[in-house]
Chain A
């Protein structure tokens, strides 16, 4: 899921200079599971900011809350009163949640309390590893189920590079070389022919490089019709 890391408390404190009523909003989904922005982390941030306020005389007054999924307006609307009465909102949700609040209440100062980092899996308790880049064109059916875009530092389509040594990536010796893993995986599956295939360069137009992306599911849109059942343009 989406992985985030809380910004340093000092950085958040600087954002709040001159503010009085501060609302800290967490989210119960990705950031809660990742121990970065759930209920506990909201309390922790406030406890730390209270010390800063008490020591430096900021006079901050804190309100705290947490919503199910901050990226959906339906879950944000119920806390509208709290948002409206605050003069600063610190969101501990990922960039999606923070922007949902910011877009719904454009006159409010909404501050990001976390740095949204990547799409990642928990490899072991406390260790989150990036595995998907949301590139818009999944090719892992050719690479034995290992994503070369996210897991290779150079996003190679025909890897490994010359810097791969002893199965490790040249950029970070703690990281396994994705293409070494792909080679081993394809060998295991008896599909080494895929390694020999010269893969086409990636279509980056399908990734963020092509611009902000949007999916429109016509089947899910609520569209008015006239009495005959024909769709009417709104």
Chain B
């Protein structure tokens, strides 16, 4: 069991961040393992950044954006989904669990549901074998 879990979450500053703030206001806190990186839109994230998060020592990566049918920037979270899936394929190819990276979509009012999904993601990752990097990436 991995108790020094590090999960990087790329969160769009629009609906996704609103959902997180709303949940926090309602007393629900983010799981401890999650570090947030706020981005203007998940569509802005390129694949090297997602891989580098793992390379820098994260056990998993969550990409949290608006619901696709209601993306603040139209196609941002849709583009992000494509890139997350591409990373999943690369992970599988290099013998890493593709489940270490996930796309999560949220409406601004669905803070509670988002938190629940993040807790579930955290438990799934915690159950995976620890990813040991023999060398420092940098």
Contact = CB atoms under 8 A, between A and B. Distances in A.
Interface of A: 8-10, 13, 40, 43-44, 46-48, 50-57, 59
Query: Which of A8, A13, A48 has the most chain B CB within a 10 Å cutoff?
Result: A48
Contact of A54 (B46, B48, B55, B90): B55
Interface string B34-64: 0000000000001110011011000000000
Contacts of B134: 54-57
A48 B90 CA distance: 8
B26 interface: no
Contacts of B69: none
Nearest to A7: B93
Contacts, number: 54
Contact of A46 (B48, B96, B131, B136): B48
Contacts of A9: 90, 93-94
A212 B46 CA distance: 40
Contact of A55 (B47, B52, B90, B131): B131
A49 to B, nearest CB: 9
Contact of B51 (A10, A47, A53): A47
B135 A54 contact: yes
A8 B93 contact: yes
Contact of A40 (B47, B52, B90): B47
B94 A44 contact: no
B137 interface: yes
A92 to B, nearest CB: 13
